Amino acid sequence: MKYFLKAVSAVIILGITVVIAFITWQFNAYSPHIVDQKPVPENLKYFQNSYTECRKSFIEDSEKLTGIYNNLEISALKIKTRSDPDLSIDYCYIPAQTAAHRLLIISSGVHGVEGYAGSAVQQMILTELVKKLNFDELGLLLIHGVNPYGFRYNRRVNENNVDLNRNCSADPALFGTINSGYDRLNMFLNPRHRVNLTSFDNFFFHLTAVKKILQYSMSSLRQAILQGQYQYPRGIYFGGNRLEPSILAVSSLIRKTAQPYSTVLSIDLHTGYGANGRLHLFPNPVKDKKKKARIEKIFSDRPINWGNTDDFYTITGEFATYIGSIIPDKDYMTMTFEFGTMDTNTTMGSIKALHNVIIENQGTWYGYASKQDETKTKKRFIRGYYPESEKWRSKIIEEARKTLIRAVKAYQAI
């Protein structure tokens, strides 16, 4: 009997080892599912691979509209930083041509590295969609690269490590918010040593993450991490101590532009969240039932995540919500577009995406054990927001084109 029990124990241990080894292999070799669609060359022309190239193309496409629309405005908000004085938030404004009634604001690059896809969608709008819209009573404001520092240097955050989508509030009390859930996870989320991708902590990161999920639950963990925090300036999802220069500059532009209009719809473009190659509509909850019904009518071609799914979370200091607070006299509606990359609707995708964010931030502050670790970390991070896949790039343009043209026409009709 003793030998039998030993044999059974050995088999169990071997089985557990095999399972752990298999999951570890899957995690370290993880890649989101491949978009099953042939790329359309015409869609790919909107993509560039640097902040400078994206900015140039956006400006050139805007200038092609000169002479077509009265009082067209193409300009830039200069954003000076300690390390780079040559940054700007470019914008193109097509005013309503006869009577200002409805304004549409489409912004990109609040999370800098997400600006590549946002720029591509905005270039598609300037090239294609403007030709299909009636601008008699509709104004269009395209804001390109709200976070130009993060855009240029391939970070989500700005030079102060501030996540601009956690930084926005007309009430300064935001910056005193205590995220107690994040506080408990701080050491896990923000390691204070050089990045070594072959270290035990990184190679087996998924096991620690699963342990945390079992301890707190997936929904509680997601909310604590992604909500935003204001205690750890070197930590991920840091919302800052005050409104950042980019937000202040954009606020002035929006107030001025929105002044003659009675109704405003803003669409903020993001990448990362959700199923790879799919457009997700992901607003913060809306309490006003009539406004919610109008938003659902505008975006009736696809489901809206209002907070009734397991992978939902709310954030503090959100940019799109903040816009409404600075134009309180307007009938304001908003929507966040998320073009999925990492299949974060799955547990494996969520863990991998979180790991990418952690090691990128860790490397920024504490460096890397080797050049190889740095190269691989940065490549993983960029791919999490701007995949190289032509299939993915083509698909998001198609998704954006289809949804935007219908939404804008529905917006003009309500």
CATH number at residue 67: 3.40.630.10
> What is the Cα gyration radius of the chain?
23
Rounded distance between C-alpha atoms, residue 300 and residue 293, angstroms: 10
- pLDDT tens digits for the chain (414 residues)? 555 445 545 544 444 444 445 455 455 556 677 788 899 999 999 999 999 999 999 999 999 999 999 999 999 999 988 889 889 999 999 999 999 999 999 999 999 999 999 999 999 999 999 999 999 999 999 999 999 999 999 999 999 999 999 999 999 999 999 999 999 999 999 999 999 999 999 999 989 998 988 888 888 888 889 999 999 999 999 999 999 999 999 999 999 999 999 999 999 999 999 999 999 998 878 889 999 999 999 999 899 988 766 666 788 999 999 999 999 999 999 999 999 999 998 989 999 999 999 999 999 999 999 999 999 999 999 999 999 999 999 999 999 999 999 999 999 998
Residues in a beta bridge with 368: 195
Range of the domain at 153: 41-179+227-341+385-413
Q: Which residues lie across from 55 on neighbouring strands?
A: none
Per the domain annotation, does 366 fall within a domain?
no
Q: Is residue 171 part of a domain?
A: yes
- Is 9 among the domain residues? no
Compute the distance between CA of residue 359 and CA of residue 352 in angstroms, rounded to an integer.
Answer: 11
pLDDT given at position 63: 98
Asked whether residue 24 is assigned to any structural domain, the reply reads no
On whether the CB atoms of residues 364 and 155 are closer than 8 A, the answer is yes
Whole-prediction pTM: 0.94
Q: Pull the structure tokens for residue 139.
A: 């104004």
The answer as to whether 327 is a domain residue is: yes
CA angle 264, 268, 270 (to 5 degrees): 170
Q: CA–CA separation, 118 vs 123, rounded Å?
A: 9
In a domain, 294, yes or no: yes
Question: CB-based contacts of 224: which residues, under 8 Å, 6+ apart?
Answer: 179, 181, 182, 184, 185, 216
Please report the pLDDT score of residue 17 as a whole number. Answer: 45
How many CA atoms lie within 13 Å of 71's alpha carbon, on the beta-carbon side? 12
Q: Is residue 272 part of a domain?
A: yes
Query: Which is it for the CA torsion 26, 27, 30, 33, positive or negative?
Result: positive
* 3-state DSSP of the chain: CHHHHHHHHHHHHHHHHHHHHHHHHHHHCCCCCCCCCCCCHHHHCCCCCCHHHHHHHHHHHHHCCECCECCCEEEEEECCCCCCCCCEEEEEEECCCCCCCEEEEEEECCCHHHHHHHHHHHHHHHHCHHHHCCCCCEEEEEEECCCHHHHHCCCCCCCCCCCHHHCCCCCHHHHHCCCHHHHHHHHHHCCCCCECCCCHHHHCHHHHHHHHHHHHCHHHHHHHHHCCECCCCCCCCECCCCCCHHHHHHHHHHHHHHCCCCEEEEEEEEEECCCCCCEEECCCCCCCHHHHHHHHHHCCCCCECCCCCCCCCCCCCCHHHHHHHHCCCCEEEEEEEEEECCCCCCHHHHHHHHHHHHHHHHHHHHCECCHHHHHHHHHHHHHCCCCCCHHHHHHHHHHHHHHHHHHHHHHHHC
- Yes or no: say if 166 and 182 are a contact pair by the CB < 8 Å rule: no
Q: Angle at the Cα of 276 (from 272 to 277), degrees rounded to 5?
A: 100
Residues sharing a CB contact under 8 Å with residue 331, sequence separation 6 or more, in sequence order:
262, 263, 264
What is the domain count for the chain? 1
Q: Which is it for strands 73-78 and 88-94: parallel, antiparallel or unpaired?
A: antiparallel
- What tokens does 88 get? 């700007």
Per-residue confidence (pLDDT) for residue 1, from 0 to 100: 58
| Within-domain flag for 184 | no
Residue 18: what pLDDT?
Answer: 42
